[in-house]
Amino acid sequence: MKNNTVALLCGIIFGAGLTLSQMTDPAKVLSFLDVTGNWDPSLIFVMLGALTVTMISFRKILKKPSPLLTQRFVIASKTALDKPLILGSAIFGIGWGITGYCPGPSVAGLGLGNIEALIMVCSIYAGFWAYGKMKV
Amino acid sequence: MVTLLENFTPLSSFSGGLLIGLAATLLLLFNGRIAGISGIMSGLISPGKGEIFWRLVFLLGLVLGALLVKAVIPDSIKIREGFPYGLLAIGGFLVGFGTRMANGCTSGHAVCGIARLSKRSIAATLTFIVSGMMTVYLLRHLIGLSV
C-alpha cells in the first residue's frame, strides 16, 4: 500500500517537472532536435537538472542493501552494447524526431485535453505490442 | 543575434529537471524501481503479480502533475494544432517499438541510466538524440515539412 502511495507521489512530481520544463510541448522538443534551425537547448537543461539530483542520489541509494519499502532494487543488469540497444534507440529517435513526443510527455498530456497525447499513447502501445510479437 | 535562442528557458527547464530527478530518486529509494516511463508503461502488457497497480498510479500521477502545474501556471501549457494525426500514429508506433527494443527511453536511459554511469544508457542516449536530430533535419530542411 505504502509503495503505491510513493508511486503516485513520484508520478505527480515527475509530471509536474515535465510540464514546468515545457517538455509536454512537442514544438519545444522539436526545436531542441532542430540544430540547424532556430535551436532551443532547453532540453539539455532539463537533463542537467535531473542528473544533478540523480547522479548524487543514485550512487548513495544503490549502496544500501535494499530499498526502504520493498525487498530489492530492480535494475537492468546488462552491460554489453548490443544491436537491439542501438537499433532500438535509433528507431525511437526517428519517432521522437517525427512527433516531438517521448513516452513521459505523451502520458502527462492525457489530462490536458490534448488529442495528440491520446494518439501517441495508443500508438506507443501498438509499438510495444508489435515488438513483443516479433521477438517471441 | 536577436532571434538566436529566443525560446530558450534555462531556468524553468532546469527547475523542472530537478523535480524529475527528485521523483526518480524517491522511486528508487522507497520502491527500488527505475523511473523509466517506457518500462513502466510496457510492464502493463503482461504483468506479473503485484506489477499492475503501482504502474497505473504512477502514470496517473504524471497526468495529475501536469494538471497541477497547469492550475498554478495556466499559460504553461501549449497545445499544438494542425499536426497530421497519421504522422503522429507512425511516430508513436516507432517510439513504442524502439523503446521496448532498447529497454528504455529518455527517462530510463538519459536520466536514470546515465546517473549510474551505465555505458548502455550513455550509448542509447547519444543514439536517440543523434537519430532525432537527423530525423528533424530530414523532415524540416530536406523535405520541407512545416508543421
Domain containing A52: what range?
2-135
Query: Is residue B138 in a domain?
Result: yes
* Mean pLDDT, range B118-141, rounded to an integer: 97
Query: Is residue B121 in a domain?
Result: yes
Please list every residue in chain B whose beta carbon sits closer than 8 Å to the beta carbon of residue A55: 114-115
**Degrees to nearest 5, angle at CA B52 with B49 and B55:** 135
pLDDT at B74: 86
- What total of structural domains would you count in chain A? 1
Say how far apart CA B41 and CA B143 lie, in whole Å: 33
Say how far apart CA A73 and CA B146 lie, in whole Å: 45
* Mean pLDDT, range B96-118, rounded to an integer: 97
Say how far apart CA A27 and CA A10 lie, in whole Å: 26
Domain containing B108: what range?
10-143
For the segment B11-51, what is each residue's pLDDT rounded down to a tens digit? Answer: 999 999 999 999 999 999 999 999 999 999 999 999 989 99
Size of interface A-B (CB pairs under 8 A): 494
Query: Is residue B17 in a domain?
Result: yes
A53 with B66: Cβ contact below 8 A:
no
For the segment A69-124, what is each residue's pLDDT rounded down to a tens digit? Answer: 999 999 998 999 999 999 999 999 999 999 999 999 999 999 888 999 999 999 99
Please list every residue in chain B whose beta carbon sits closer than 8 Å to the beta carbon of residue A83: none
A51 with B115: Cβ contact below 8 A:
yes
pLDDT at B117 over 50: yes
Query: Is residue B14 in a domain?
Result: yes
